[in-house]
Structure 1
């Protein structure tokens, strides 16, 4: 084998000095660790799903105008949300309700039971047609806690209400809540 001599004494008889070499750092382990961490974080972020509720919004160019649709009063239930976890509901129009405004509570013994009863009554009259099911209008006030609105939306998912909307509360409805000490 051939050998390459880079240093030489060049014919001079001098001192033999050792070469000063820069210390080398082996980065192989660091690169392996970096790729393992990247792989780990890529897998864990794709496995964690954000928890959110699906909310369907109407199209801008909807051919149907909801104000012109004739919905029977016995299919529309309005939920009024007051302060301090208070809630009231009525059936039909506010001026001429089929069921007078009724105070209730959140949870399975309160609003959920009322929704399930109304769904059963609507189903008895209109059958299993999903387009003719119960319509719930949710009207929070400015005194309502955000948690209560989420609770009502959870009740819509639990009771499987197909048609529900969040609307603005009217002045007479606010006056009703004030009269009952809920606003």
Structure 2
């Protein structure tokens, strides 16, 4: 606390015979330190720290017992393969790669009218069902737990696309994150990260050499 000490000795006399008093002020900050510690303790106990958010990723299995036939079990009508080659562009094709048909490979981008529009159209049924569930949750017709359960069932249901993400040596970490973000935005529940194959490189190389890249959007 502040203390005022008065020192009357040694002062010079002013005109009129009065002495000039010297006043020294001493401020004690010890109570302020105690108060700061109490405030820090209060905020530490009462503040809720942000929790880290994680993203579930389905990785390819390394089980040697799985045959090539089992690996190709995904229906061609449901499979979509993304080829990340760096930059702002992304290649994709549906079904299995057809090295004889260069135009089966499409060129798109990470913009809203590019890859996202294409995936939303492929996943229209699931997206509409999930939007209906969101409305029911807002109206308190279903609980949060029931909402998550039904959304998981819809994403993994029949008829929903299975997306295979393949990154080349030129792809960046940002390209992979952008592709994974699109999976969440488009409500894609079945997707894996796999290695790019020589056949995929063959398609990209020949398309670039021939200059026959076809721009894909929501088609």
**Residue number in structure 2 paired with 1:101:** 105
**Residue number in structure 2 paired with 1:72:** 75
Change (3 A) 1:79 1:61: closer
**Residue number in structure 1 paired with 2:172:** 145
**Residue number in structure 2 paired with 1:90:** 93
Higher RCO, 1 vs 2 (CA within 8 Å, ≥6 residues apart): 2
**Residue number in structure 1 paired with 2:114:** 110
Unaligned 5+ runs, structure 1? 1-24
**Residue number in structure 1 paired with 2:10:** none
Q: CA shift at 1:73, angstroms?
A: 0.8
1:89-148 deviation digits (Å, cap 9, x = unpaired): 11111147998111111121100111122224899xxxx784321100011112112112
**Residue number in structure 2 paired with 1:31:** 34
**Residue number in structure 2 paired with 1:49:** 51
TM-score (norm: length of structure 2): 0.56
Match for residue 172 of structure 1 among 188, 191, 199: 199
Q: Distance in 1 between matches of 2:62 and 2:86?
A: 36
TM-score (norm: length of structure 1): 0.66
The answer to whether the 8 A contact 2:86-2:171 is kept is: yes
Residue 131 (str. 1) matches residue 157 (str. 2): yes
Q: Distance in 2 between matches of 1:34 and 1:93?
A: 65
Q: Distance in 2 between matches of 1:61 and 1:142?
A: 22
1:129-176 deviation digits (Å, cap 9, x = unpaired): 843211000111121121121111111111101101111101121232
Change (3 A) 1:148 1:66: farther
Unaligned 5+ runs, structure 2? 1-27, 128-153, 210-219
Structure of higher CA gyration radius:
1
The answer to whether the 8 A contact 1:74-1:122 is kept is: no
Change (3 A) 1:97 1:89: farther
Q: CA shift at 1:178, angstroms?
A: 2.9
Q: CA shift at 1:27, angstroms?
A: 5.3
The answer to whether the 8 A contact 2:163-2:190 is kept is: yes
Count of matched residue pairs: 151
Change (3 A) 1:104 1:158: same
Aligned alpha-carbon RMSD (Å) = 3.7
**Residue number in structure 1 paired with 2:19:** none
**Residue number in structure 1 paired with 2:43:** 40
